[in-house]
Amino acid sequence: MAESKSSKFLWLLVLIAVASVAVYVWANRPDMRSTSTHVVFITNGSDQFSDIAAAGARESAKRLGATVEVKMPEKGLVDQNRFIKELQSSNVAGVAISPIDPNRQSVMLNELAGKMLLVTHDSDAPYTSRLCYVGMDNYTAGKACAKLVEEAMPGGGTVMIFIGSVDQDNARLRRQGMIDTLLGRTDNPSGFDPLDAELVGEKYTILGTMIDNHDLAVAKANAVQALKDNPDLGCMVGMFGYSSPLCLEALKDAGKNGTIKLVAFDENDATLQGIVDGDIYATLVQDPYQFGFQSVRILVRKARGDDTVLPLSGAIYFRATPIRQADVEEFKAKMSRQLSLGTTE
């Protein structure tokens, strides 16, 4: 009888141990909600694109029971570098960043990656120790932009490119993708044509690339100067979200809107209105909401021990979508829904 009681007692201890392990595993599973996971989401500017990305980041954190701090560098590279330095002494689980100058920031980014999880979004830093990249294949997007130029100006003509900087990985790649396609070249994502070179193809000629270093006044002045210096200009291509609205202002000032073609990137309100009005042929939009949502999802789940969340290829790509006049209202409704999901406060 004593033996039977002893045996039952041992079985009870075993059951308690098994139950304890099960509870521990459940409580620590990768998708378990925990408000202790805190991450930071850093954009490369402060604009509508960044607001949408931030909304996605906040919604992702909310669904996972985590917290996210959004940082937007009002002063560009100076602010972004300050954010990185400040984070090096913090205890956040991870950071998602769209690096403004990945080459010059690589040392700081690698130092950050040695202390916490690091993901890049929108613009990559492929030669750092980041876990993965979330965004668009920008060379492919540049090729898609070239197709819009061909639609807008099927007979060929001259093209001027307007862009904030080519130090960013995304900017360099989308510019090169467009140039290679318009000039009928084979794909060469690692190529880089000089900014001031006139590049002549069978049907299209790239007159040059005008850089504004994210200065809106310079961007507007560039557009004005391009119109003045090139009376035969056929098409302007604004490769950053603010580029095309400023090009459109210059065209209107010169009374040439609707005459000179304009192709855009991103979903700036002025760009969408310009498409509706017939002053902008089309724009290529990304999916900044998903850039933010997926970046935070990866950081939080990885911080909680889920290695399967990392893409085997090292990147999660979202395709660029052309928005023409017939697509604007549906796209605006989608954008409004996305913003409503994640508060931008």
- Does residue 17 register a pLDDT over 60? no
pLDDT at 117: 98
At residue 44, the pLDDT reads: 93
- The three-state (H, E, C) secondary structure of 38-84, written as one string: EEEEECCCCCHHHHHHHHHHHHHHHHHCCEEEEECCCCCHHHHHHHH
pLDDT computed for residue 247 by the predictor: 98
What is the CB neighbour count within 10 angstroms for residue 322?
A: 16
Residues 57, 295: contact at Cβ < 8 Å?
Answer: yes
Backbone CA torsion sign across 223, 226, 232, 238: negative
Q: Are domains 38-136+288-324 and 138-285 of this chain identical in fold?
A: yes
Residues paired with 95 in a beta bridge: 40, 118
CATH fold of 138-285:
Rossmann fold (3.40.50)
CATH superfamily, domain at 38-136+288-324: Response regulator (3.40.50.2300)
Q: What is the 3-state secondary structure (H, E, C) of the chain?
A: CHHHHHHHHHHHHHHHHHHHHHHHHHHCCCCCCCCCCEEEEECCCCCHHHHHHHHHHHHHHHHHCCEEEEECCCCCHHHHHHHHHHHCCCCCCEEEECCCCHHHHHHHHHHHHCCCEEEEECCCCCCCCCCCEEECCHHHHHHHHHHHHHHHCCCCEEEEEEECCCCCHHHHHHHHHHHHHHCCCCCCCCCCCCCCCCEECCCEEEEEEEECCCCHHHHHHHHHHHHHHCCCCCEEEECCCCHHHHHHHHHHHCCCECCEEEEEECCCHHHHHHHHHCCCCEEEECCHHHHHHHHHHHHHHHHCCCHHHCCCCCEEECCCEEECHHHHHHHHHHHHHHHHHCCCC
Give residue 18's pLDDT band: very low, low, confident or very high (50, 70, 90).
Answer: very low
Predicted pLDDT at 164: 92
The pLDDT of residue 329 is: 96
Mean predicted confidence (pLDDT) in 192-220? 96
Question: Average pLDDT in the 162-190 region?
Answer: 95
Q: Are 14 and 6 in contact (CB under 8 A)?
A: no
Residue-wise pLDDT for 274-313, tens only, equals: 999 999 999 999 999 999 999 999 999 999 999 999 999 9
> 79-132 pLDDT, tens per residue?
999 999 999 999 999 999 999 999 999 999 999 999 999 999 999 999 999 999
Q: What is the pLDDT of residues 31-75, one digit of tens each?
A: 444 458 999 999 998 888 999 999 999 999 999 999 999 999 998
In whole angstroms, what is the distance from residue 269 CA to residue 278 CA? 14
- Using the predicted structure, report yes or no on whether residue 5 has a pLDDT greater than 90: no
Give the closest residue to 245 by CA, choosing from 60, 108, 82, 47.
Answer: 47
Residue 4 is predicted with a pLDDT of 54
> Residue-wise over 40-71: b if at least 16 C-beta within 10 A, else e?
bbbbbbbbbbbbbbbbbbbbbbeebebbbbbb
Q: Looking at the predicted structure, is the pLDDT value of residue 25 above 80?
A: no
Per-residue pLDDT, 23: 36
Once rounded to an integer, what is the mean pLDDT over residues 231-236? 97
Rounded to an integer, what distance in angstroms lies between the CA atom of residue 125 and that of residue 111? 13
pLDDT for 11 equals 53
**Average of pLDDT values for 318-322?**
95
User: In which band, very low, low, confident or very high, does the pLDDT at 20 lie, cut at 50, 70 and 90?
Assistant: very low
Tokens of 119: 């993901």
Count Cβ atoms below 10 Å from residue 191 Cβ, excluding itself: 15
Q: What confidence score (pLDDT) does residue 30 get? A: 45
**pLDDT digits 0-9 by tens, 139-172:** 999 999 999 999 999 999 999 999 999 998 899 9
Q: Where are the domains of the chain?
A: 38-136+288-324, 138-285
315-317: strand order across its sheet = 67-71, 38-42, 94-97, 117-121, 133-135, 315-317
338 pLDDT band, cuts 50/70/90, is: confident
